[in-house]
Structure 1
């Protein structure tokens, strides 16, 4: 089952069996941050009949700059999409005059609305292949409006452990249009999460990935950003989840040891709050807290993990460990539709679980194959 599929995520997800995946763990390309080159450009938003039968579909007439006065916008309902008017003055992408499709790479859409639409279209396809008890965990970052490249400055890239060697893959130098004031955060993670909920996903947690050892920022008029978001969605109200624990603080242990209000003879809160479980202070629960820890919180301190290969944004293995432990049973399948250099697959294999990765960039697949090889060999030996 462990495999990497090369191709467009939406198309390749259609080839997977419905309700066959236990969980999804991934980090999509961030908006307005990097140009991965023309080899990863695909056609988006084609009318359904064209997607079903490309041979008889639109021949596509591409034009970089779509002017508002074009007559096609008036008579064709396909051209009334709200993101199309917002994008009409940009030349960073191509729209088809005939059918309204857009050609480009995920993350370089002319507006963040179109980017979020494309992301959510992909996760609609993910939802189909998820089991009804499946979950989806998505790491996504924000962008500043009106800034050159839209993404992090040099020092902020260093704090993520970002390195690159291939000059065909670069940070963009001309930002797409953002309908927010210059220098304002675009709030992309939250806009994305809201649209996911609008499409039927259940948002269970917003997790903060806090990076203790982040590099200082070179900007002078705001604070250094030292965190990213990890959204935890479920497909249904009832889903597989194995509770995870973390070490309890000494203060918490002492509180349990002496009772809620410092009185060792009383195991519950006095006053109107005593409807809470009065057994919380019993000795067995105190001991359990010491040995097992407390339920894991939603701020995770995880340092970035440098990576020497050409792939830019490699999230650390530790960021994947807890979601995969919590969301996938042993022998289950973890999906990553933006597989990149294969970190999700490595963590899945380490936990005796299987993986399916989808990646459009063939060079990244070569990197992932190289990284996964020793772990796959160990799996065969078992």
Structure 2
């Protein structure tokens, strides 16, 4: 008898230990709604395995085979969001990030939907902060949103930000003057004679400001308990921005470099199915413990809420 072909249920809501390229080859094609991941940064960090440090000059060659598997796994209306950062090499900012974006479009077939900037206002001072290297510290990373076709899931409502006080005036029809009296230095202008539609919040734009400051949360405590160090993880609010806008409840989110499990944790919390892949077994162990503990905490909170509601009804 031949070997049974893998189905999505074999991977769903699990952390898979292994090389993501090889694992993805065993997964059913066109089965994933959203891929959100932050792969190892070039030549910068120790991810617990020797092959995780990639020379910037080799980064595109290293990543493209993995990107081709991501492309195969995505549904035709699926999206791929890549969080990545660059580095200074021989005195200048290396171009591998931008070379990768071009290669993902020209060699793999992705379409670039939007380039986002994740600005971390809590970036600490570093060697560049002294001013002797001709540049400021780097306080942002890139998040590139790619689509597989000319259609992709996007929901603005969950990521809208509160309106400014000035915009609130326009929503209430209280703006003063006509369009010519409300021209900005950028030449943008507002028609203040109309009542603007209230959409429940403003378009957040392409700069995402989230401080990466968690230092004593549950995951850090797990790292200390298990004596396992994880070098980098993006904040949950960053994952939430893309998961809420790029997928719907019940859909499936894949992180092929799952690391600390942030993508999976946020997907689970927001009623998405998820798959995490990482070559480091200790990271998968940590991520699994994290999700188990977070689920226990959610269930306990739900139970407390039910008790409080019962008492208020009496």
TM-score (norm 1): 0.64
Pair 1:187–1:259, CA change in 2 (3 A): farther
- Give 1:201's match in structure 2, choosing from 88, 97, 110: 110
CA contact (8 A) 1:349 1:355 kept: yes
Tell me, in whole angstroms, the C-alpha distance in 1 between the residues paired with 2:180 and 2:170.
11
CA contact (8 A) 1:143 1:188 kept: no
Q: Does 1:124 align with 2:68?
A: yes
For 1:63, the equivalent position in structure 2 comes to: none
For 1:240, the equivalent position in structure 2 comes to: 153
Tell me, in whole angstroms, the C-alpha distance in 2 between the residues paired with 1:346 and 1:10.
22
**1:210-289 alignment to 2 at 5 Å?**
210-219=119-128, 220=130, 221=132, 222-243=135-156, 244-255=159-170, 257=172, 262-263=176-177, 282-283=194-195, 285=197, 288-289=198-199
CA contact (8 A) 1:257 1:281 kept: no
Report the 3-state secondary structure (helix = DSSP H, G, I; strand = E; otherwise coil) of the residue aligned with 1:191.
helix
Q: Does 1:350 align with 2:269?
A: yes
5+ long unaligned stretches in structure 2: 1-11, 182-187, 224-228, 303-314
Pair 1:225–1:250, CA change in 2 (3 A): same
What's the offset of the Cα at 1:322?
A: 1.0
- Cα RMSD of the aligned pairs, angstroms, is 2.8
For 1:326, the equivalent position in structure 2 comes to: 245
What's the offset of the Cα at 1:252?
A: 2.9
Tell me, in whole angstroms, the C-alpha distance in 2 between the residues paired with 1:231 and 1:322.
13
Tell me, in whole angstroms, the C-alpha distance in 2 between the residues paired with 1:35 and 1:338.
14
- Give 1:19's match in structure 2, choosing from 27, 30, 55: 30
CA contact (8 A) 2:86 2:94 kept: yes
**1:358-377 alignment to 2 at 5 Å?**
358-376=277-295
For 1:49, the equivalent position in structure 2 comes to: none
Pair 1:16–1:269, CA change in 2 (3 A): farther
5+ long unaligned stretches in structure 1: 42-104, 146-181, 271-275
For 1:97, the equivalent position in structure 2 comes to: none
What's the offset of the Cα at 1:374?
A: 2.8
Q: Does 1:144 align with 2:88?
A: yes
What's the offset of the Cα at 1:123?
A: 1.3
Pair 1:280–1:124, CA change in 2 (3 A): farther
Report the 3-state secondary structure (helix = DSSP H, G, I; strand = E; otherwise coil) of the residue aligned with 2:88.
coil
Tell me, in whole angstroms, the C-alpha distance in 2 between the residues paired with 1:348 and 1:9.
19
TM-score (norm 2): 0.77
Tell me, in whole angstroms, the C-alpha distance in 2 between the residues paired with 1:225 and 1:143.
9
- Give 1:298's match in structure 2, choosing from 203, 206, 226: 206
What's the offset of the Cα at 1:209?
A: 0.8
- Give 2:39's match in structure 1, choosing from 5, 28, 40: 28
- Give 1:8's match in structure 2, choosing from 14, 19, 26: 19
What's the offset of the Cα at 1:190?
A: 1.5
Q: Which has the larger radius of gyration?
A: 1
Tell me, in whole angstroms, the C-alpha distance in 1 between the residues paired with 2:173 and 2:250.
43
CA contact (8 A) 2:260 2:283 kept: yes
Tell me, in whole angstroms, the C-alpha distance in 1 between the residues paired with 2:86 and 2:117.
13
1:8-47 deviation digits (Å, cap 9, x = unpaired): 111100111111111011100000102335xx35xxxxxx
Tell me, in whole angstroms, the C-alpha distance in 1 between the residues paired with 2:78 and 2:95.
27
Instruction: Compare the two structures and name the one with the higher helix fraction.
Output: 2
